Amino acid sequence: MCYCASYVWSSEKLDNNLQYLSRKHSGILIRRYSNTILFVSSMALFTSGRISAQNHTTTHYNTLPLKQSMIAEFALQYGDTKLALQNYTNLAIHSDSTIAKQRALDIALDENDLNAALTIAMHWVKQDPSDVPALFYLTHISLKAHKYELTANTLDKILSIDSDADLAEILAGISPDNASDRNALLETLRKSRARHNPSIIVLIASLEAQNNEFAQAIKDVEHALQKRPHITSFILLKASLLELNDNQQATEAWYQHSSMYHRHNYEVRLAEVKYLTRIGKPNTALKKLQSIIQMWPQADEALFIAGLTSIDLKQYDLAEHYLLQLGHSNRYQNEANYYLAINAERKQHYETAIVYYRRVDGSLYTVSRRALMNIFDKTDRLSEGLRFLTQERVNYPQHASFLYQLQANILKKQNNKQAAIELLNEAVQNLPDDPDLIYAQVLLLDPFQDRALLEQDLNRLLTLEPNSPTYLNAYAYTLAVQNRRLNDARTYVEKALDQAPDQASILDTYGYIAFLQNDFKTAIPVLEKAYLANHNPKTGARLATALYLTGDSKQFTTLTKQLQQDFPKHAEVMQLNTLLRSQPSL
């Protein structure tokens, strides 16, 4: 193929692009790009070598592929994907470099530029109609772009080259998500010569399942399994379809059959265990897990599930046996330590539980530290817990906000509210833009004694997150308690309700503000809805008072008597007695 000036950008244009990138991002060390240069050099050598072999007069252009790929790679480093894709598309179309085509397609797919990807893939197939990887790319992209006729035609070409080709990877994760496209694809696939391929049969079954045609989908998967009975994904798909079809007996029987027939298939046997756990058969699941572990003693997931199942069955020693084997597991080490701690805590071995909780990191860090503080609380060692959390802030500065809040909760539990406020004030100084810390302080401040600081914190919260329903509600409720700026309070709470219309605490605030404004027409139905959701005595007392003030004696009396029965010692409920005694006898 001739690599001439009509097919590529001129050397001058490429040089201009390199200068543009250099000017735009000057001052960055070139050694940052050593891997890029190695990559593009190998690509360019391959490309220009192929080109030179085809045209003895193109020596002048042998450096152009290197320049184009360098521009593309440097553009990617700077986030200029448009320029990168332009260069790689040009290189892919006007050379026969497989590396360039694959790189161009990867970039186009990463950017979800399906038009560019289709152009590249179709040109690749046109260049070499028997290139199976090119055909696979084109099938995948055309399916993703909802070009179903092209998908079917390309699948036919693949199967004419290899009638037993495994098409599963092409189809994974890109089936249509709306009924119209699903039906269009189904119709196309059913008419295609590819319809007898097991992977296509399974795709058809998946599409049918999305249309709730479970019986037909199961039949199709069974057809695919007749052709390929050992494919794990086909086995598990049939199980999933049976489960989705609400056929527990058939699902359990299929898992049992598959586990016996494929006893050396770890994934199938583990899937059976997970299903048995889901349907509430932990004893059977544990027996099967023990058999799996005997065959695969290093299988981390099986060991982990066996540990959790043993805890659920209160077989604590057995749980410890399995979980201890995960002490060096890259995937399950944290989880194992966490559940070993839970296991020890259930046995009331608190010192052992503390040791394991302290080893937990990662996504379970916060829940483990809360559990640890619960143990310190149970054993009357909260002061020790405070010292531990102070050291944790040094060891885990990324969790400082959470740790400050946990310490404040302990101080509050110790009836040292002022110390908690001071600690949070220190925390806010250190982390001034952390809304969680500011809100934690808001919850501790007195609306009258700490009015200035409280207003400062609330304003800061709405500056940081102006649409947060939690912070809007907090400001509205504070103003309501202080019985001032009620119009502003109502604006805040109405804005909060727009974000969270069914949240009981916001409804309660809205009803309270309307009550204070003597807008009983709004207050009563809102408070009724809030009380139905939260069954809170304060909400109930406000609702009862509103009913009394509007002269609804019957509803007032009924609600008050119910409140007295449910909350006989609550102060605001007890205050309703005065109103109740003033009611005329019915």
- HEC letters along 146-159: CCHHHHHHHHHHHH
Buried b (16+ CB within 10 A) or exposed e, 142-165: bbbebbbebbbbbbbbbbeeeeeb
Q: Which two tokens stand for residue 445?
A: 């401040």
pLDDT at 169: 61
* C-alpha of 352 from chain center: 33
Task: Pick the range with the lowest mean pLDDT from 208-212, 313-317, 382-386.
Answer: 208-212
What is the pLDDT, as a whole number, of residue 157? 81
Q: Has residue 7 got a pLDDT over 70?
A: no
Which of the listed ranges 44-58, 87-101, 216-230 does the model predict with the highest average pLDDT? Answer: 216-230
Q: Name which of 63, 127, 139 is nearest 92 in CA terms.
A: 127
What's the confidence (pLDDT) of residue 164? 60
Is this prediction's pTM over 0.75? no
Quote the pLDDT of residue 66: 60
> What is the spatial distance between Cα 501 and Cα 411, in angstroms, rounded to a whole number?
34
pLDDT confidence tier of residue 68, bands split at 50, 70 and 90: low
- pLDDT tens for 204-221 read 898 899 889 999 999 999
Between 485 and 130, name the one with better pLDDT.
Answer: 485
Distance CA 475, CA 471 (A): 6
**Backbone angle region of 415, left / alpha / beta, with phi > 0 → left and psi within -120 to 50 → alpha:** left
Band (pLDDT 50/70/90 cuts) for residue 275 is very high
- Binned at pLDDT 50, 70 and 90, residue 67 comes out as low
pLDDT value of residue 105: 80
Residues 6+ apart with CB under 8 A from 500: 469, 506
pLDDT at position 170 is 62
Q: How many CB atoms lie within 10 A of CB 333?
A: 17
pLDDT, tens only, 551-583: 999 999 999 999 999 999 999 999 998 888 877
Q: Are 577 and 544 in contact (CB under 8 A)?
A: no
- CA distances from residue 243 to 46, 271, 272, 286, 550 in whole angstroms, order as listed: 52, 12, 12, 21, 56
CA distance 67 to 80: 16
pLDDT at position 206: 86
Domain residue extents for the chain: 1-128
